[in-house]
Amino acid sequence: MSVLERFLRYVTVDTRADESSDTSPSTPGQLVLQRVLAAELDAIGLTDVVLDDHGYLMATVPASVAGDLPTIGFLAHVDTSPEMDGANVKPILHPAWDGRDIVLPDDATAVLRAAEDSALAACIGYDIVTASGTTLLGADDKAGVAIVVAAAEYLVAHPEIPHGPIRLGFTPDEEIGRGADRFDVARFGAQCAYTLDGGRAGELEYESFSADVIRVTFHGFNTHPGYARGTMVNAIKAAARFVDRLPREELSPETTDGYDGYVHPYQIDASVDRTSVRVLLRDFVTATLRDQQALVERLAGEVAAETGTRVEFEVKEQYRNMREVLDRHPLVVERAREAIRRVGLEPIEKPIRGGTDGSRLSFMGLPTPNLFAGEHNFHSRLEWTSRQELELGVRTVVELARLWGT
Ligand SMILES: [Zn+2]
């Protein structure tokens, strides 16, 4: 079965993650796809195919040569974003796309235009895959899933390619930040791994944000507003004043890109008595998070003093820049570069302005950069991928296996 055929089948399973769920995986659809994949991996001839109680699927491509070679891993996540409908996805193939606008049939306002999408413009002549206009496509990350399965099938069918033991991992709930939560690094047993969860062909990502979240809670005093003179202290007004004082021209998502970090208020729970503002802290340099935290605490403290509220802070670590780990294992990234070159592409290296499962896995002892999988416009009705990029992904994985096998 080709990588495209696999992809077209996987996207029809609804695997939308659900942040409000306490189970792992967060939704039953993810288990449905994991069972399909487990059966396929068995059929291909992989060993140790195990789907665990939390919805993590692992398997092994046995080494094709004897000797003491390092075990490497390839990872992809089976869930899709909670931000967009993922049920009844109808993938549409646009063979040898000629560059004209692609109007999605179920919603005429959903149009892909080469002029508005440079990655798409670079794919004229490719076999483009889109959804039908009302759902996401799920290339994030079923493109990665299809690439990993197809590459495993290729390696099993071509024992003349020298490679060591290769572990495959299919994880749930990446989109809600839980993909690494129950990932058993010891059981996976690889020296390093690669997530297949990136964009255009050639992309290689090994730097991510370091991330904390701080909850700023203002405590006021509530009383009947008709008789509140001199006694009411409104925590909502304090929180509003605090948010208004956060930086605008710098340190905000709206005004930064590249290597600039930000401080981002993204959720408020409000009442007169008590109002909490959740603020994301993001920077590529972990130590800078302390400066951002100090800034937030200073601004909120000033507002509390002015408004007669009491303010409390709670900081939670989210993830750290994977580069701090990967710099200690330069071969992991270097071999990815080499594999990308071997399939005829020039590596495109850029920082991830977010985190991946690899950010956390790297700090759990599994150095894990991210490779392209041909994902474009993810979490959107305009999501697309292409057969050619999927195939380049498969070839890159095969080349990586070969590089670690010599
Ligand atoms: Zn993803």
Query: Of the candidates 391, 6, 399, 378, which has an alpha carbon nearest to the alpha carbon of residue 199?
Result: 378
The mean predicted confidence, pLDDT, of the chain is: 97
Average pLDDT, integer, range 10-30: 97
Residue reference for tokens 């996207």? 11
Residue 6 — very low, low, confident or very high, per pLDDT cuts 50/70/90? very high
Does position 355 have pLDDT exceeding 90, yes or no? no
CB atoms within 10 A of CB 224: 8
CA of 278 to the centre of ligand 1 (A): 24
Give CA–CA dist 209/285, Å, rounded. Answer: 8
Average pLDDT, integer, range 104-111: 96
Please tell me the predicted confidence (pLDDT) of residue 356: 84
CA dist list (Å): 267 to 19, 74, 103, 288, 304: 15, 35, 35, 22, 19
Does position 338 have pLDDT exceeding 90, yes or no? yes
CA of 84 to the centre of ligand 1 (A): 13
Scanning 162-284, the segments in alpha helix (DSSP H) are 185-188, 235-245
Does position 298 have pLDDT exceeding 90, yes or no? yes
Average pLDDT, integer, range 306-315: 98
Please tell me the predicted confidence (pLDDT) of residue 406: 87
Question: Which helix (H) or strand (E) is 265 found in, with range?
Answer: strand 262-269
Give CA–CA dist 324/301, Å, rounded. Answer: 33
b/e code 63-96 from CB counts within 10 Å (16+ = b): bbeeeebebbbbbbbbbbbbebbbeebbbbebee
Residue 368 — very low, low, confident or very high, per pLDDT cuts 50/70/90? very high
- Out of 40, 141, 173, 174, pick the active-site residue: 174
Average pLDDT, integer, range 280-296: 97
pLDDT digits (tens, 9 = 90+) for 169-224: 999 999 998 999 999 999 999 999 999 999 999 999 999 999 999 999 999 999 99
CA of 96 to the centre of ligand 1 (A): 26
Please compute Rg for the chain using Cα positions: 23
Cβ pair 374, 76 in contact under 8 A: no
Give CA–CA dist 102/96, Å, rounded. Answer: 12
- Out of 14, 40, 79, 389, pick the active-site residue: 79
Cβ pair 15, 76 in contact under 8 A: no
Q: For residue 9, what are its two tokens?
A: 């089948």
CA dist list (Å): 269 to 80, 236, 276, 277, 401: 27, 9, 5, 7, 49
79 included as an active-site residue: yes
Does position 166 have pLDDT exceeding 90, yes or no? yes
CA of 197 to the centre of ligand 1 (A): 5
CA of 124 to the centre of ligand 1 (A): 24
DSSP three-state, residue 20: coil
DSSP string, 372-391: E---BSTTSTT-EEEHHHHH
